[in-house]
Structure 1
Amino acid sequence: MRNQSVERNFIIKGRRQRRRRWLFVTSLLIILTIILCCAMLYFGNTIYPVNVVLRSLMGEEIVGANFAVNMIRLPRMITGLFAGFSFGAAGYIFQTMFRNPLANPNILGITSGSSVAAVFCITVLHSSNTVVSVASVIGGITTVIIMYFLSRGRTFSVGRIIIIGIGMQAMLDAAISYLILKSGQQDIAGALRWLSGSLNGSKMSEVSPLIIVVVIFTPILLILGKQLSMLELGEQTATSLGVHTDKMRMILIVSSVIMIAVATATTGPIAFISFLAGPIANRLVGVSAQNILPAGFVGAIIVLFADIIGQFAFEYRYPVGVISGIFGAPYLIYLLIRMNRKGEL
């Protein structure tokens, strides 16, 4: 009896420690996100005093500052914040649910599906930004539907869906290359700019759908965090615990894909954010299916920081997707080497 009491106290103590660590790290991530948001409002071709930036945000008419802060920097900052959060949180859902760090929207071809639709609209149909955004969302969702039907079997297989996703990505990337090669010179620049993933030209009217999607689907993902932790234990274990695995998996996938697709439609496919955010959050907080918020803020931090670096650290300005790709590619190589040594590949 005494041993049971000691064991129970030990479990409660460990749970409290993990909870305190989660709160501490998440608070630090939120603070760092706020600092980077402020930096994006402050820095630019012209550095305005802090009081001028604040007065402009409050609606006071200040020549020059009002346009720079409210029309350029604020939409850019909000777009980076919500797109980074979407990429980070949704990527973490995929990696946790499929129990594989390679199972993220970039590797599985979801962002490539969005990109094919967007490039087709840009180079063939010469569509407006609104049509490109809608087509991008439809392309991402369609890719997931096709992957789901191709991976169906008697039982769910993580390996099967990852292999199919990698194949889909290769095929879709080839389609993108074909569209660019066949497009006119006047369309190539726009397509490549979209494909690089950029916050340039962000507008409040275009980021509104992304904000709405994040506000709606983030609570859904948080509510389903317990079911996600059970899915992480495996198909049979989750079923024995009373989880309707197919239903929960479908809800999680649809919610995550919509967030990814709308974020991609807004900024283009920013490389490696959904790939990096989850593992970094797990390292900081500890492995848990409740790391959706930390992963989202890590994604936002990477996007905001990469955009600041791309804008001000070099002689020429680079899109955020180029900088995040520089960060992410070495990590992908490291991860593949580590998985190969453990016999996971």
Structure 2
Amino acid sequence: MSDISAAQGSSTRAPGATHSPGTVDFGRRLLRIDRAGLAGLMSVRTVLVCCALALAIVVAGLVSMTIGSYGLSAWDTLRALVDAGFDPDARQVVYEWRFPRVLFAVLCGAALALSGGIFQSLTRNPLGSPDIIGFGVGAQFGVTLTMLLLNLNTYPFKAVGALVGGLATALLVYLLAMKRTVSSFRLIIVGIGVSAGLGSLTSWILISVSVEQAMMAATWGAGSIASLGFDQLVPAAIVFGAVVLFAVPLRRSLPVLEMGDDAATALGIHPGRTRLAAMVLGVALVALVTAAAGPISFIALAAPQISQRLVRANTPMSMLPVMLTGAALVVVSDAVGQLLAVPVGVITVSVGGVYLAWLLATQYARRA
């Protein structure tokens, strides 16, 4: 039996009051889904936002695949994707080179945005993203050590280096910020300090190696997905899928944890285990992207806040809108980067810096 209905909320009724069969009034328009093995409520606005973001990703990805020295129209690009008998040269350019790049942009954006949503919910602060509190820099430092000191430049080794570097940085930041309990303000301040220290160590390593090694690390450090293909995409997608599956329970537990440890414990949430799981999964998502594409900054900071405002959610941990927002930002940024002949990381840093300044200004204005 399938029952999907919409309910228009009214301010005159109490939230949660049932006013007709199959319809629930929560003060906003909702979709009620009731199928075998699947039941729940979903905001109509969330559905529309997700559809709009998915459309933006498809359009921006298609435009991105038309950019390059081998000029193709949008129609030829579509034919090269779906028609195996189309021009072999065009099909090789589109399907083997440009299409994996778009898919990687989607994966990187979704992973970074979800990681940012996890840490912003965990710290209860819009500045609590891995870009600001140093976990991204820790992953970058781990990859730098793996590439330059251990001479291991393949994706699996860089992924392990990024994960170890990110987790070690997270542990260091948490230990330094710990004072009976972990304050989000102390966590952010300590994270900024640790990030600056690791950045200085990375710079010292770069000036201590050969010019060729330094150029290789600097190119990777700019954050680019230009040279990535299906060989890197397949293992990255498998790891990303596994991490997302483990992160699904956090969609319910982290918003409860935002109410405080006492309230979370009373509702059956174990704060310590939840924080540990969230930290490991968030760092794993950052490490996944950093190992493949280098540091793509500010997506983890901006995407959860943009998504939260689009769907008008009470938490940055609305998983699907957050991931779609991050994917859209990276796909659009990569298309702009191709037009300007710069890596995607340069675009995200430029736009993200402006966003960070605006966010700091609004946060200060609220406290003033």
Query: TM > 0.5 between the two?
Result: yes
Equivalent position SS for 2:88: coil
- How far is the alpha carbon of 1:136 from its aligned partner? 2.0
- Cα separation, 2, equivalents of 1:133 and 1:226: 28
Other-structure match for 2:305: 279
Question: In 2, are the aligned partners of 1:98 and 1:158 still within 8 Å (CA)?
Answer: yes
Question: In 2, are the aligned partners of 1:76 and 1:200 still within 8 Å (CA)?
Answer: yes
**Which has the larger displacement, 114-123 or 267-276?**
114-123
Other-structure match for 1:118: 143
Matches within 5 A, 1:1-345: 6-8=13-15, 9=17, 12-17=25-30, 19-50=43-74, 52-58=76-82, 59-60=84-85, 62-130=87-155, 131-289=157-315, 290-312=317-339, 314=340, 317-343=341-367
Size of the aligned set, in residue pairs, is: 337
- How far is the alpha carbon of 1:153 from its aligned partner? 4.1
Question: In 2, are the aligned partners of 1:197 and 1:267 still within 8 Å (CA)?
Answer: yes
- Cα separation, 2, equivalents of 1:219 and 1:277: 20
- Cα separation, 2, equivalents of 1:6 and 1:188: 65
- How far is the alpha carbon of 1:54 from its aligned partner? 4.1
- Cα separation, 2, equivalents of 1:297 and 1:208: 20
Which structure 1 residue ranges, 5 or more long, are not aligned?
A: none
Code of the residue aligned with 1:120 in structure 2: it is L
- How far is the alpha carbon of 1:52 from its aligned partner? 4.3
- How far is the alpha carbon of 1:134 from its aligned partner? 2.9
Structure with the bigger RCO (C-alpha within 8 Å, sep 6+) is 1
Other-structure match for 2:34: none
Question: In 2, are the aligned partners of 1:140 and 1:261 still within 8 Å (CA)?
Answer: yes
- How far is the alpha carbon of 1:27 from its aligned partner? 1.6
Code of the residue aligned with 1:328 in structure 2: it is G
- Cα separation, 1, equivalents of 2:54 and 2:248: 17
Code of the residue aligned with 1:142 in structure 2: it is A
**Which has the larger displacement, 119-128 or 179-188?**
119-128
- How far is the alpha carbon of 1:61 from its aligned partner? 6.7
Code of the residue aligned with 1:170 in structure 2: it is A
TM-score by length of 2: 0.85
TM-score by length of 1: 0.90
- How far is the alpha carbon of 1:55 from its aligned partner? 4.7
- Cα separation, 2, equivalents of 1:250 and 1:194: 30
Q: Deviations over 1:79-103 (max 9, x none)?
A: 1110110001110111122111111
Which structure 2 residue ranges, 5 or more long, are not aligned?
A: 1-11, 19-23, 31-41
- How far is the alpha carbon of 1:16 from its aligned partner? 3.6
Question: In 1, are the aligned partners of 2:102 and 2:331 still within 8 Å (CA)?
Answer: yes
- How far is the alpha carbon of 1:156 from its aligned partner? 3.4
Other-structure match for 2:39: none
Question: In 2, are the aligned partners of 1:93 and 1:292 still within 8 Å (CA)?
Answer: no
**Which has the larger displacement, 211-220 or 85-94?**
211-220
Question: In 2, are the aligned partners of 1:123 and 1:184 still within 8 Å (CA)?
Answer: no
Code of the residue aligned with 1:327 in structure 2: it is V
Code of the residue aligned with 1:242 in structure 2: it is G
- How far is the alpha carbon of 1:276 from its aligned partner? 0.6
% of aligned pairs identical?
Answer: 29
- Cα separation, 1, equivalents of 2:310 and 2:68: 31
Question: In 1, are the aligned partners of 2:13 and 2:25 still within 8 Å (CA)?
Answer: no
Q: Deviations over 1:157-212 (max 9, x none)?
A: 32332222222111111111111122221122211111111112112111223211
**Which has the larger displacement, 156-165 or 250-259?**
156-165
Equivalent position SS for 1:283: helix
Equivalent position SS for 2:55: helix
- How far is the alpha carbon of 1:38 from its aligned partner? 2.3
> Greater share of helix residues, 1 or 2?
1
CA 1:51–1:251 in 2, change beyond 3 Å: closer, same or farther?
A: same
Code of the residue aligned with 1:73 in structure 2: it is R
